[in-house]
Every structure is written in structure tokens, then in C-alpha cells.
Structure 1
Amino acid sequence: MLQPRPTLGAPSPYTFPKPRRLRVGGGTVVAIDVPRQPYASIRLVQPAGGVNEPLEHMGVAALTNEALEDGVRGNSSLAPALERHGADWISRVTWDSFVTGVDAPANRINDAVSLFAEAVRAPALRPDDVVRRRDQLVERFWLEASVASTLAARAIGGQLFTGRYATPLSGGPARLQELTPEAVADFHAGSIAAVAGTLVVVGDLSDVDLEELGKTVFGDADPTPSPSTSAPGSAPGELPRIVVLDRPGSVQSALILAHRAPARSEIDLPRADGMSDVLGGMFTSRLNMELRERLGYTYGVGCRFDLRRDSGVFLLSTQVEAPTTAHSVTATLGEIERLQADGVTESELAAVRESNTVGLPVSYSTARSLAGALVEAVIHDLPEDHVDRLRAGFERITSEDLHEAAREYLHPRDSVVIVAGDAKEVAGPLEETGFGPVTVHDPETLWT
């Protein structure tokens, strides 16, 4: 016999744990103690992101990040060494940061962090290993670019920015191929080994000496320099415009609409993300209901803000059947226009509030997710209670707030539409939309 469903209670209130902060040598340790959380997450955050690379060595941060995995003995020696302690190596490069770390059992944290510190401060960086990693990155770049959605996404920077942002974060295949082991060694010595950074530690820390961990990781490295920020220049060309990346014979088109957005410190995130959720960030979003449910053009739509210290990008993406490409563009523009004109409904407002508040206890239930929030705070100089501020912002948001955000943060007339698809089939109908001039490019020539 079927049992009745339980009645849902009120959502549990959530407060982000208050981190402990201490200065150790030239660095800072930021930690959250999570009792009975046996697995710990350790992250070292340094400001050596892609935007700080010299233009003649674009991609050196990504290559250095990969090369660290070869450890102090070279030839991919780090992973097996960490596995003996049940630990996993974590690393990534963003435009604003160079992040490395380990996830490890709390009772093996000292051994894992010692190996981690050696790998970060004194890796072998053997020339043969660096060249092997470089060739793998180049091969991976083209392999990933064979996917239409990745190809379109990597073309955004060159359409919106000049300078470093105009080339993909990895540097692009031509720039990567020019990087030498000496360039990697110089970058590592000046931007990684010599810079203390901020160490994030989350887990059951009852038996962990945070000061000793900091000494192990920071050593005698210098304090982290304050990163300088200046707004990047805009790419030349008429706006709005449409760029077609020709993929002959493609039965689908990957479609992106993108324009510049404010920097992370300049944007009201609850209003911006809430508006983005209504437009295309939730399954019940307007674009998903239009392009997927009503028209049947796509399996799904997404939109988001990519926010950096000095600038940002708003992007909306989907993949549609090739014959529907032009109409997908006009339908998308129509939904943006309606959102800016009419605002949001009460049901959409309720969905935004619930999706950004009710699930917080689950979202931050692991050491890794808590560490991720602290890493974001370090990268963007956010207050330690930034998660609580975001929650409070979503709790008090109004329909008028979201309506104002649509008018403030959406700029379709300053946008570039990038379409990765069959130019013979889509270019003509795209011209007929009247959105802007259409140009066709060979993807092979974008980053050479």
C-alpha cells in the first residue's frame, strides 16, 4: 500500500562556517574546522593566472600547472606518491589565479601536504617532461576544439577583447608550441616558487597544526603581491555582429550570444544571477521553455556570467538543429526583449529564491565545496561571510530587482553571436535576421 508523501517543513536556515585566519611567514592560512569530516581539502591560491602572463609566453601558466604533476622526480611521479597516503592532486588555472592542492584523509594530512609542498616549490621540471606536457596540451586543444560548443566558446575572447583575453586561457596551439622548458622554469621560479600565496584548509582539524602546515607550504617564499587590475580593451569591429565558424556538413549549430559584463567586484551578484536564472539558467527558464519545450530546437539552453577581477562576460549558449539556427537567434533576442520590457513573474521570483537558498546546506556539505567557496573569496578579495551575504541577497530580492537587472546587465545590441556550424546552410538565413553583419571564418586559422 502506498504511503502518503511526508509534508515538507520549512527550509533549514544556513550560515556559512566562520573561517579561522592566521599569518604564517609570508603567507596566510584560512581554515574551517569541520568536526567528524575525515577527508580534508587543501588549496594553495596564488595570483599567477592567465591575465598576468607576458604576451610572448601566453599559456605558460597552464603548461606550468600541468608540469607540476610530474613531481620532484619527474615522469608523472606525483600521483603515485600521493596515492600512498590516499590523497588526490588538485590543480587548475583561471584568468586570475593559479590553484593547486590535495584532498587527503585528515589523519594523513601532514604527509600529503609535505609531498604537495615539494611539488609546488621544487618540482623537477625536466625539459623532456615539459615538452611532453606541452605537446599533450596542443593535442588536447585541437581535440576539444573538434566539439562545436567548445570551439564557439573559445572564440568569445577574440570577439570581445584585445590583449591577453583575446587568446584562450591555454594560450592557443601556436603560442603553446613556442613555449620552451626555460620559459616554464622562469615562470615557476618567479610566480610560483617565490610567492607564498594563501593556503585554504578545510576538514576535521582537531589534530592538525595549522601553523606547521603553513610553514611547510610557504617556506621562505615572499608575501603575495597585490594584483593590479585594469579594464581590458575591446575588440575592433561593428556591434552587434555574427561570426560563423565553418564546420562543413555539420547537422547542428553551436550558438553563443556574448557581450562584456562588469568585473566581479562591480556586479550585484544576486540580481545578476537571479535574472540569468530566469532567462536561461534553470530548466524552467524562458529560453529553455521556448527553444526546447515549445519549438523543439534543442536539448537545453544555458546562460551565465563569467566574472573576473578586471572585467566579465555574459554568455548564453545552446546547440540547435542547423536549419533552425537563424530562428533560434531571433527567438533568443525576442525573449531578452520581453524580459527587459515586462520583467519577471512571481513564480519566477520564487524559483530564483528557492534555487539559490534552499539547497545551501547540501551545496556546502563537503570539505571540497567549502574550500571552493574560500578559494573564490581569496581570488576576488571577498569578505569571509560572502556566502551569507549572497544568501541574504537572494532572500530579499524582488521582482523589480530582477527587472532592473535585465535592463542593466543585458546588452544584446553590444553582443557578438558566434555560430559553429555549416556556413553554407546558416550564413544566408543569419544575414536575413538583420541582427548585424555576418562573417565566416575557418576555425583552423583562429589561433595560428
Structure 2
Amino acid sequence: MLRPDIGTPASYTFPKPRRITVGGGTVVAIDVPGQRLASLRLVHPYGGAVEPLDAMGVSSLTSEVLEDGPAGNSSLAPALERHGAEWVSRVNWDGFITGLDAPANRLGEAVRLFADAVRRPALAPDDIVRRRDQLLERFWLEAASASTLAMRSLGGQLFTGRYATPLAGGPVRLAEVEPETVAAFHADSIASVAGTLVVVGDLSGVDLEDLGKTVFGDAAATPVREVAAPAPPPGELPRVLIVDRPGSVQSALVIAHRAPSRSQVDLPRAEGISEVLGGLFTSRLNMELRERLGYTYGAGSRFDLRRDSGVFFATTQVEADTTAHSITASLEQIAKLRSSGVTAEELASVRDSNTVGLPVSYSTARAMASALVDMVVHDLPDDYVDRHRAGYEALTEDKLNSAAEEYLHPEEAVVVVVGDAERLSGPLADIGAGPVEVRSPESLWS
């Protein structure tokens, strides 16, 4: 039997959302006929980046505590389950996002529970302390992964201020957040601020204005967030930080430098060159470190772009004795990409990977809601997805080559290595990637 020919990829247009103002808030909705599982997300502009330095981690802790519900003691999840709904809550650097996924025909009942959980949670001191202790325990459990520890060590090497400490506050600062601090943060930043409500699903029979009234109540309009680029820490660039794990036979390494903010970056060009370097299986780093040298199971790279700044990083894990060469080989690949540019095959791979699969990528209410949340957090236009697709379709080799020069700066990089310092210090000092500093994990966020 012959394999059928591959047809021309279908074009994709992201549905245009409907926007309505309700009280102090805005509802942004997409009606998807037949999509019986609806996704609802409430966006507040109070992520980790705007936390005061004496309350770092308060947004993450508050996000956790809201799941205890209006009655406290983890009461929300079983209450929502009676309506077939699932609670959603997450915090990133730029946003505080709560929400639920629920059958569209039971959205009204579930949203009333949701509104109570967001606006009128119990915030019992015992629940807050329990959740704080769980977050602290989780921090060190997750930091048992060398790659996680390397990423969490990165902020203090690239920024001063809030970004120098991990999003959840770090083990020292988070432990200092008291129940009264959580209650004050919730009252000032969540309960009294309307936010933006995202709703996606089969909305036939759903009264969006009534939904907005239920969620927003009499909360005030969301204030405009001030944006200012954070300062870098003192110290020579490039440089190397070894986070010491005595006896480790492997090393987790990150090569990273600062990048512009989301609004300052031509995203298709930036993401495209990152994919050529480390975002695809056929990327330069993967082919060099995995396929040719056999040092790793995989290597990658990407941009983390925020409202006021950004980070570019390349990551991998290797055997300890190959750490130094893995770093120099990675830096050589970046230099080669900047000097020689991309190939026609690499350009085609980047374009196809970001356009052909869009109908599948946005086939669920959750995926569409996630795109709308991104638009809200970063003040993007309603046709952003279509502009983004068009940007990839318009990519050329010259555009990617210029992106390599504009967005990749190994001369400004910090290399973070989690591994055995006694074994690594000498070889890493010899590779010319800058001065080498050794720290223990416990000393990073004190």
C-alpha cells in the first residue's frame, strides 16, 4: 500500500475575541461552538516581579492558599468537582492567574464558587502556614534535580532586586512570609482589583455580562503597571558559577545572558534563531553535544521574555569529565551561528514547526485561553496569534542571521554549573569563560 501524498498545510486564523467592559473589569471571550469544556481564567497583573523585597514569594503562597477555598482546609476542589469543574491557579513573573475548566452548561454554578474562592477566601492562618511549609519542602525536593537548581541559581547572576531570588521566594524569604502578609496582599492586589476575565468554549446560552458581574463584583479597575528594566548585579562578564555538589558524577550547566523585554523583541526572529541553536531535535547544540560528541541525552535553548526584561539560556546535563568541553563546544556553536548563519534546511524547519501545527495547537479551549492570557499579560493585540504566524511565514535566512547577531551575546554570558566543585574548578578556570566562583546551594538565597 502506497503512503498518501502530503497535502498543502491548511491555513489557520485565530478566532477574534469579543471584549466587553463589566464594572471595573473586562471580559475577553471566544465562542467555540461544540467545545463543551469551557476554560475560564482571571488575570491580575501581580506576578512575582512586583512583589516587595521583604515579602518575596507572597504571590505564589497566596495562589496556593486560594485552593483552600472560602471554607478553608482544602475545601474548594471537592466543591468544584460537584459541578465537574477543576481549579486552576498559577503565578509567573508578570501575572497572577486563577481559573477553572468546567462543562459549558454548568459554568454558571462553578463560577459562583470560583468568585467566592478568589474574592472571599478563608485565608485561615493555619492553612497559610501549612501551605508555606509545603512550598518550602517542595523547593528543596525540586532543587534535588541538578537542572532545576542550576536554573534557580541563574537569577542572582543576571539581576539585582526581585529577579535575583526564585519566583517562589527562595527558602529563606518565603519562610519569613506571615499569614498577615498574605491577607494584605490578597486584599490589596486580588480581592479589590477586578482584573481581566478570559472565557473560551461553547458559550451559547452563557451571559458574559452576568458572568463578569459575578466575578468582578464591585472591585476596582486594574491599575496600569509601571515597567522599569531591573539592574544587573556587579561583577565581570563573562563568568562561571559552580554550585557545589560534592561527589556528583554529572554536571547540569546553563549558559545564559540577559535579553530585551517581550515588547522589544521581534519574537519570530528571536525564537527562530533559538530553535536553530537548541530548540529543535536537529538543532546545532543537540547535533553537536548529543549526536557527534555523545555527551548528553539532549541540549536545548530558549528565551524567557518578561514585561521589563528577558533571559536567553542554553541548557544540558553531561558527565562531569566532559563539562568543560561541553561549555566550549556550546560557545563555539553560538559563535559559528553568528558568523556563518543558518541553512535553508534550518529556515524551513523553523517555519514549518511554528505554522503547520497551529490548528492542532489551538484545538482546545485551554490552549485558546492560554493564548488570550498571554495577550492580556503582555498587552498584545487581539490578532497577535495571526501576526505571530505571519512573522514566521515571512522569515528569511537574512532575518534569522541578523537575529543571531542581535539576540545572542555569549560575551555577556554567565555559565552556571551544578556539580562537584573540586573536580570542576580547575578545568573550568582553564577554558577562558571568565573568573570562577564556587557557592553552596544553601548560600545562594540567604
- TM-score band by shorter chain is over 0.9
Q: Distance in 2 between matches of 1:17 and 1:210?
A: 17
Partner of 2:353: 355
The letter of the residue matching 2:182 is V
How far apart, in 2, do the equivalents of 1:239 and 1:355 lie?
34
Give the aligned partner of residue 52 of structure 1. Answer: 50
What is the aligned counterpart of 1:70 among 68, 82, 99?
A: 68
Select 1:280's aligned residue among 273, 278, 281: 278
Structure 1 residue 244, shift from structure 2 partner: 0.3
Residue number in structure 1 paired with 2:426: 428
In angstroms, what is the RMSD of aligned CA positions?
0.5
Question: Size of the alignment, in residue pairs?
Answer: 446
Deviation at 1:51, TM superposition (A): 1.1
Shift of the alpha carbon at 1:302? 1.2
Distance 1:302 1:208 in 2: 43
What's 1:300 paired with?
298
The answer to whether 1:126 aligns with 2:124 is: yes
Question: Which residue identity does 1:190 align to in structure 2?
Answer: D
TM-score by length of 1: 0.99
1:233 is matched with: 231
**Per-residue deviation, residues 371-424 of structure 1 (Å, max 9, x unmatched):** 000000000000011110010000010001000000000010101000001111
Q: Which of 285, 288, 291 matches 2:289?
A: 291
Secondary structure of 2:354's aligned partner: helix
In the alignment, the residues of structure 1 paired with residue 311 and residue 412 of structure 2 have an alpha-carbon distance, to the nearest angstrom, of: 12
**Is 1:43 aligned with 2:59?**
no
Residue 198 of structure 1: aligned partner: 196
Aligned equivalents of 1:243, 1:435: Cα separation in 2: 10
1:134 Cα deviation (Å)?
A: 0.5
Q: How far, CA to CA, are the matches of 2:38 and 2:429 in structure 1? A: 54
What pairs up with 1:333-412 in 2 under 5 angstroms?
333-412=331-410
Residue type matched to 2:202 in 1? D
Q: Which residue of 2 aligns with 1:88?
A: 86
Aligned partner letter, 2:130: R
* Percentage identity across paired residues of the two chains: 70
Match of 2:179 among 158, 161, 181: 181
How far did residue 146 of structure 1 move?
1.1
Q: Which residue is 2:104 aligned to?
A: 106
Distance in 2 (alpha carbons) for counterparts of 1:147 and 1:275: 28
Which amino acid in 2 is paired with 1:429? P
Q: Structure 1 counterpart of 2:42, which letter?
A: L
1:142 aligned residue: 140
Alignment of 1:213-224 (within 5 A): 213-224=211-222
Moved over 3 A (4+): none
1:438 to 436, 439, 443: 436
TM (norm. structure 2) is: 0.99
Instruction: Report the Cα offset of residue 425 of structure 1.
Output: 1.4
Superposition pairs for residues 238-257 of structure 1, below 5 Å?
A: 238-257=236-255
Secondary structure of the corresponding residue to residue 425 of structure 1: helix
**Per-residue CA shift, 1:127-169, capped at 9, x if unaligned?**
0000000000111111111110000000111000001111111
What letter is aligned with 1:204?
D
